Amino acid sequence: MPKNFRGWIAVGLLGVVWACAGTPGPGETGYPFNISGAYEGEVAVEGQAFSFELEVQTQPGGAFEGTYAVTSPIGMSGPVTGMVVADTATFSLEYMNPMDGCGGTLEATGRVETGGDEFAGRLRVNDSCGGLLSGSFSMRR
């Protein structure tokens, strides 16, 4: 291999490393779609609206965890986990409705606005009493 050719390969590899090092990834400072802090909004399941609060922090690599609270028309809370990939957040939580004793899981996927101040999307609930249910959510800092 010619000596000059090896030099160009080294310069090319250095350029790739430099370019990758300058672009923040999910969970890193400066990543435009991180979600962190306290959010308020609404979760609607089969037309029934629930006031919803979320407190989360994106970690390096895009994973996030925190807590949720339903504040109206019932009260319940618990842990939430999720992931941010590009401009999409997915999260899941388990719940137990104190009014009827039904429990289940909620899984949601939505688009994060640049800056992370808002995210919204679709959700699916697997409820022990109602079966598979669909809905939407909208959260804002």
| 102 within domain boundaries | yes
**Predicted pLDDT at 14:** 44
| 72 within domain boundaries | yes
Residues above pLDDT 90, as percent of the chain:
78
The string of pLDDT tens digits covering residues 6-64 is: 554 544 544 444 445 578 888 898 999 999 999 999 999 999 999 999 999 999 999 99
| 10 within domain boundaries | no
Amino acid at site 48: Q
**pTM reported for the whole predicted model:** 0.81
- Residue carrying the six token digits 């000059």: 4
| 77 within domain boundaries | yes
pLDDT at 111 over 80: yes
The count of structural domains within the chain is 1
User: By residue range, what is the domain housing residue 114?
Assistant: 36-140
The domain spanning residue 71 has which CATH number?
A: 2.40.128.120
